[in-house]
């Protein structure tokens, strides 16, 4: 962070002097108290003298002690070994070193403890001198020797407020020279492994499920391995993960700095968890994020953000590589597997969006285009027009992530070849619906996974112009982040969220109802000491941020009586009625055809009779002529003519009947068409109502069609998250909601004109150089750490 840390440093060499004072005063205290009780008159000079004598005696005693030590060292120091082992035992008790450090770590710890163990003896007489054990570490081994920590009067990071334990409230315990920072109080709504016990299983959380608890941001620190570049530059390790919670930062004076030579400065920090460089991605995920994913499934919002200097390992932690996927990938996998396990008790839908904040503009990474605007609505701060994808499988999400990462702005810096110059936020919204008797239970949880841009100072990037602007903007947002953290810690009423886009989007995570985790990434190199110190300082501050007690799940219960189910039923009934009407219409049409066929047949039948040729042209002419002949009275009363007349009458009747039927069918047709039209309109209206309800309630902008309804119903009946095959192949066009921003915004020329580079640009420009998994089917940049 741009704000300099108030470094509370301790000088190892100085500890001797301080130790001597402390020791001397501690020993002399009873005498002083005794003297104070003595009568004042005539005793002052005498007391002073006695005191001087005592001090002298004590000094002598320690001289002897020192000589004894030297002698015992020469003789093999059997007795001292015994004493030391006792002290080590004591020290181990105090440190409460819970972790089972490896063989190597154990060795370092021993050296550490030995250094502390000998301090009282050596420190007394050698003011401002480092104890013999606190020599400079070898470059090859990267073993850090720890000097005794500072005395209490040197601490500035003491307990601030009740309950807020700062990083270094090191207490003098059994062994006076060793002070151990107390672990931060565990979050009451504990997410560290106990969430499963505290939170009810999915489906059991009812409305207003309450846990009266206070919440605070959990802070983890992750140390990355030393990079090849750093090794080549001859850097040494300045960070030590002492145990599962403690980090010790050491600053070595340069060889030319005679004033501070041998005065090794150090500082202890304590976090919810500290990950050494050997920690796997899975370990980081399970400790930091797994419980948040569980919470999201139960309707609680969760945020994880990685903070640290450029090249400290933020993107590695968040995205990882193909071989070692990071938090984002592991969280998505976990989410889908959990949803699958619970598919029997409801319907889950997963939607995601991916955006970046670059130079104070918000961009959609999945559908790049024009900048998005932030606005506040019921759900909090949202980016208007951001694409929300409905995802059905992990593979689909992976593809979306890869696509988004290619669009992310990157640039090489001095420290990191493919440095992310923007803050990236992946948001996953999980919606759960189930029927509970007559009620529909809806639960919505949002998981935000954030990879922040490097918090380096301008020097670290060694760039001018564009990089300087970027740096200024990155720093602006991170400065605002630090201001917000400060304001939240100090309990101020006004929190300056609006000062940057990043803090606006993080508003919920920092000060809202959200389970928030911060992963502070640090480099071990002493060349990055300043950045590491800053990162640890802000991580330490962030520990104190209290988020609102998040006791109730984002859950809603809808009465089925007048709800979606009712509408769905009505729709079904109407559809049924429609199909019945259609059937009726088809039958009538069939009937009409039959009648017409009969008519035709009857019309043609007179041909079979021996009719005078003049009468046999067409049925109509026949009829006319017959009529005429009858009217004229010139008709012969023959059997043939009688039959003809009867046939004609029959035909006439049939024709009338046909005409009546035709008219009737036409009428029915019209009526049915009208009815169908009305019903279609009604259905459309219902659908619109339903869609607007959905939009208001869940911001689900899908357009519901009868087909989708049927699909949803069948999915619900199957009781699992189904994945239509077309969604696997190309989810993007189908799921895309935002069309406005697409107009001309995605052109590479526009991006180039903006002076912004994305990973896809990097991929096209320098295909050989890029070993990044982000640019290939993978996730994060891959750079060898040797």
Ligand X SMILES: Nc1ncnc2c1ncn2[C@@H]1O[C@H](COP(=O)(O)OP(=O)(O)OP(=O)(O)O)[C@@H](O)[C@H]1O
Annotated binding site: 308-315
Applying CB under 6 A, the span of 122-130, 249-257, 334-342, 415-423 interacting with ligand X comes to: 415-423
Q: CB nearer to ligand X: give 310 or 367.
A: 310
How many CA within 13 A on the CB side of residue 679?
Answer: 18
Binding ligand X by CB under 6 A: which of 313, 369, 619, 778? 313
Contact characters 259-298, ligand X, x per CB under 6 A:
----------------------------------------
CB of 320 to ligand X, least distance (A): 8
Determine, following the binding rule CB under 6 A, whether residue 423 of this chain makes contact with ligand X. Answer: no
Q: Which residue's beta carbon is nearest to the bound ligand X?
A: 783
Q: Return the CA Rg of the chain.
A: 42
Q: CB nearer to ligand X: give 390 or 408.
A: 408
Q: CB nearer to ligand X: give 273 or 521.
A: 521
User: Which sign, positive or negative, has the C-alpha torsion 763, 768, 770, 771?
Assistant: positive
Q: Provide the β-strand partners of residue 265.
A: 11, 251
Determine, following the binding rule CB under 6 A, whether residue 757 of this chain makes contact with ligand X. Answer: no
CB of 293 to ligand X, least distance (A): 21
Q: CB nearer to ligand X: give 124 or 249.
A: 249
Extract the runs of DSSP E, i.e. beta strands, from 489-633.
515-522, 546-547, 555-559
From the annotation, which residues make up the binding site for ATP? 308-315
Determine, following the binding rule CB under 6 A, whether residue 308 of this chain makes contact with ligand X. Answer: yes
Binding ligand X by CB under 6 A: which of 503, 521, 554, 648? 521
Residues near ligand X (CB under 6 A), total: 22
**Could you give phi then psi for residue 266, rounded to 5 degrees?**
-150, 160
Contact characters 220-259, ligand X, x per CB under 6 A:
----xx-x--------------------------------
Determine, following the binding rule CB under 6 A, whether residue 2 of this chain makes contact with ligand X. Answer: no
Is there a contact between 249 and 533 (Cβ–Cβ < 8 Å)? Answer: yes
Q: CB nearer to ligand X: give 10 or 317.
A: 317
Is there a contact between 534 and 455 (Cβ–Cβ < 8 Å)? Answer: yes
Binding ligand X by CB under 6 A: which of 122, 347, 416, 473? 416
Determine, following the binding rule CB under 6 A, whether residue 473 of this chain makes contact with ligand X. Answer: no
**Could you give phi then psi for residue 228, rounded to 5 degrees?**
-60, -40
Q: CB nearer to ligand X: give 317 or 715.
A: 317
**Could you give phi then psi for residue 453, rounded to 5 degrees?**
-70, 165
Q: CB nearer to ligand X: give 47 or 771.
A: 771
User: Which sign, positive or negative, has the C-alpha torsion 91, 97, 100, 101?
Assistant: negative
Binding ligand X by CB under 6 A: which of 249, 357, 430, 453? 453
Binding ligand X by CB under 6 A: which of 157, 315, 353, 528? 315
CB of 284 to ligand X, least distance (A): 8
CB of 307 to ligand X, least distance (A): 9
Q: Whole-angstrom Cα distance, residue 598 to residue 312? A: 91
CA 778 to chain centroid, in Å, comes to 19
Q: CB nearer to ligand X: give 675 or 766.
A: 766
Name the DSSP class of 420: E
CB of 528 to ligand X, least distance (A): 11
Determine, following the binding rule CB under 6 A, whether residue 454 of this chain makes contact with ligand X. Answer: yes
Nearest one of 303, 336, 341, 329 to 202, comparing CA atoms: 341
CB of 525 to ligand X, least distance (A): 11
CB of 538 to ligand X, least distance (A): 15
Is there a contact between 581 and 672 (Cβ–Cβ < 8 Å)? Answer: yes
Is there a contact between 398 and 392 (Cβ–Cβ < 8 Å)? Answer: no
Residue 313 vs residues 239, 320, 450, 707, 785: alpha-carbon distances, Å: 15, 9, 13, 47, 11
Nearest one of 511, 517, 481 to 218, comparing CA atoms: 517
Tokens read off for 593: 């055809």
Direct distance between the N- and C-terminal alpha carbons of the chain, in angstroms, rounded to an integer: 28
Residue 300, SS3 per DSSP: coil
Q: Whole-angstrom Cα distance, residue 388 to residue 398? A: 15
Positions that interact with ligand X (CB under 6 A): 224-225, 227, 308, 310-316, 413, 416, 419-420, 453-454, 521, 781-783, 785
């Amino acid at each position: 962070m741009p704000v300099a840390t108030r470094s509370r440093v301790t000088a190892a060499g100085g500890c001797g002097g301080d130790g001597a004072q402390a020791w001397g005063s501690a020993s002399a205290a009873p005498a002083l108290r005794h003297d104070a009780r003595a009568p004042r008159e005539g005793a002052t000079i005498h007391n002073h003298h006695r005191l001087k004598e005592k001090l002298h005696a004590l000094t002598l005693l320690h001289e002897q002690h020192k000589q004894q030590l030297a002698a015992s060292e020469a003789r093999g120091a059997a007795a001292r070994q015994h004493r030391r082992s006792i002290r080590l035992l004591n020290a181990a008790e105090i440190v409460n070193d819970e972790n089972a450090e490896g063989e190597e770590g154990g060795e370092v710890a021993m050296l550490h403890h030995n250094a502390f163990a000998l301090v009282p003896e050596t420190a007394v007489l050698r003011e401002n001198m480092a104890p013999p054990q606190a020599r400079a570490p070898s470059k090859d081994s990267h073993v850090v020797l720890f000097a005794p920590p500072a005395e209490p009067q040197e601490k500035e990071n003491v307990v601030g407020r009740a309950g807020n334990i700062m990083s270094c409230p090191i207490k003098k315990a059994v062994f006076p020279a060793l002070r151990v920072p107390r672990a931060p109080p565990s979050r009451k709504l504990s997410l560290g492994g106990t969430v499963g016990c505290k939170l009810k299983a999915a489906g059991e959380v009812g409305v207003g499920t309450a846990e009266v608890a206070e919440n605070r941001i959990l802070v983890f620190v992750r140390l990355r391995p030393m990079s090849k570049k750093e090794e080549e530059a001859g850097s040494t390790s300045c960070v030590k993960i002492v145990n599962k919670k403690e980090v010790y930062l050491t600053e070595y004076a340069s060889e030319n700095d005679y004033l501070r030579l041998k005065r090794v400065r150090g500082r202890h920090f304590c976090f919810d968890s500290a990950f050494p460089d050997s920690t796997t991605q899975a370990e980081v995920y399970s400790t930091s994020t797994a419980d948040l994913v569980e919470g999201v499934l139960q309707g609680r919002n969760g945020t994880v953000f990685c903070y640290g200097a450029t090249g400290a390992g933020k993107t590695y932690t968040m995205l990882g590589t193909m071989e070692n996927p990071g938090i984002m990938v592991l969280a998505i996998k976990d989410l889908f597997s959990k949803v699958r396990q619970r598919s029997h008790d409801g319907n889950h839908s997963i939607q995601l969006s991916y955006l970046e904040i670059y130079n104070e503009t918000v961009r959609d990474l999945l559908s790049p285009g024009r900048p998005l605007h932030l606005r506040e609505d019921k759900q909090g701060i949202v980016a208007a027009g951001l694409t929300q994808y409905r995802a059905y499988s992990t593979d689909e999400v992976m593809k979306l992530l890869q696509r988004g990462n290619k669009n992310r702005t990157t640039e090489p810096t001095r420290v990191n070849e493919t440095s992310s110059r923007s803050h990236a936020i992946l948001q996953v919204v999980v919606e759960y619906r189930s029927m509970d008797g007559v009620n529909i239970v809806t639960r919505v949880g949002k998981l935000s996974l954030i990879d922040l841009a490097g918090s380096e100072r301008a020097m670290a990037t060694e760039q001018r112009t564009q990089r300087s602007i970027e740096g200024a903007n990155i720093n602006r947002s991170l400065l605002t982040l630090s201001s917000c953290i400060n304001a939240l810690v100090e309990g101020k009423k006004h929190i300056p969220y609006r000062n940057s886009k990043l803090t606006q989007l993080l508003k919920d995570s920092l000060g809202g109802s959200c389970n928030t985790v911060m992963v502070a990434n640090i480099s071990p190199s002493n060349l990055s000491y300043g950045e590491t110190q800053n990162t640890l300082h802000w991580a330490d501050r962030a520990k104190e941020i209290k988020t609102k007690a998040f006791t109730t799940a984002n859950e809603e219960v809808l009465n089925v009586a007048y709800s979606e189910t009712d509408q769905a039923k009505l729709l079904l009934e109407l559809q049924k009625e429609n199909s019945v009407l259609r059937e009726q219409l088809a039958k009538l049409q069939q009937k009409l055809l039959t009648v017409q066929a009969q008519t035709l047949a009857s019309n043609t039948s007179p041909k079979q009779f021996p009719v005078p040729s003049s009468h046999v042209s067409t049925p109509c002419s026949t009829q006319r002529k017959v009529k005429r002949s009858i009217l004229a009275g010139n008709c012969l009363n023959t059997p043939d003519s009688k039959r003809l007349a009867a046939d004609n009458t029959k035909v006439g009747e049939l024709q009338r009947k046909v005409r009546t039927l035709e008219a009737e069918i036409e009428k029915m047709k019209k009526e049915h068409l009208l009815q169908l039209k009305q019903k279609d309109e009604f259905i459309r209206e219902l659908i619109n109502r339903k869609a607007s309800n959905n939009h208001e309630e869940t911001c689900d902008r899908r357009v519901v069609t009868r087909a989708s309804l049927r699909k949803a119903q069948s999915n619900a009946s199957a009781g699992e998250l189904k994945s239509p095959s077309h969604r696997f192949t190309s989810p993007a066009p189908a799921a895309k909601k935002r069309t406005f921003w697409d107009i001309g915004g995605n052109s590479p020329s526009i991006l180039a004109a903006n002076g912004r580079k994305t990973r896809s640009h990097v991929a096209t420009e320098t295909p050989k150089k890029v070993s990044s998994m982000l640019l290939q089917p993978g996730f994060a940049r891959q750079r060898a750490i040797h």
